[in-house]
Amino acid sequence: MSLPLLEKKLIEQANTENAPGMEKYMKNHFPFLGIKTPERKQILKDFWKETEIHKAPFDRDFLIAMWEKDEREYQYIALDYYGKYIKKRPKTDIDLIKYLLTHKSWWDTVDPLASNFAGPLAKNHPDLKETLKEWAKDDNMWLRRTAILFQLRYKSETDEKFLYETILKNNQSKEFFIQKAIGWALREYSKTNPDSVRSFIEGHPLANLSVREGSKYI
């Protein structure tokens, strides 16, 4: 496994001056090494070049090992790594995505997992919508948020019925992250079908935050 080499590279670039601000931005849920995105991307670029791990078959153990590390930069790199494979992954990866969504959960990993991982996987394997329907009413808030957001990049391919039904399963939620997700999903879909979104907002009870976010472009 190439994790020790990656750890060495990251620790060498750790910045104790940056770390407190990055931790504060994430509400102190996770420790940080203090490596900002441009530097992290360069470290990863060098790591890819040295190991060529991204050209080898997908290594689930490597992904999970990064997810289990304390510092948040490892989870970001795990997503960068996984992103190189997601378009060709089998539908059984929905279980892996669920694991990632429900461990070390916060918006900074949940949102890309929703739109960049669950979204493409469900597009390639449409029967996964049945799983996402279950997520829409799950006790776990982050799974519900994912069910609302996974079509974020679908544009004209959005399953409108699924989107609206999912929103209506969650429109009474008091959770900020659910209300915000509803507004975000509606806002994105309004770029494709503004009349439909306008009609939906006018015809259904939604939180003020959801309405405000969803109405920005209509």
| pLDDT tens, the chain, 218 aa long | 589 999 999 999 999 999 999 999 999 999 999 999 999 999 999 999 999 999 999 999 999 999 999 999 999 999 999 999 999 999 999 999 999 999 999 999 999 999 999 999 999 999 999 999 999 999 999 999 999 999 999 999 999 999 999 999 999 999 999 999 999 999 999 999 999 999 999 999 999 999 999 999 99
Q: Which pLDDT score is estimated for 74? A: 99
Q: What is the pLDDT of residue 130?
A: 98
- Considering the entire predicted model, what is its pTM? 0.96
Structurally, at CATH architecture level, domain 92-217 sits in Alpha Horseshoe (1.25)
pLDDT at 169: 99
Half-sphere exposure of 101 (CA within 13 A, CB side): 28
Give the per-residue SS3 of 130-189.
HHHHHHCCCCCHHHHHHHHHCCCCCHHHCCHHHHHHHHHCCCCCCCHHHHHHHHHHHHHH
What pLDDT, on a 0 to 100 scale, did the predictor assign at position 1?
Answer: 57
pLDDT of 2 reads 83
Neighbours of 31 (CB within 10 A): 15
Any idea where the domains of the chain sit in the sequence?
Answer: 1-84, 92-217
**How many CB atoms sit inside 10 A of residue 99's CB?**
12
The CATH fold assigned to 1-84 is ARM repeat  fold (1.20.1660)
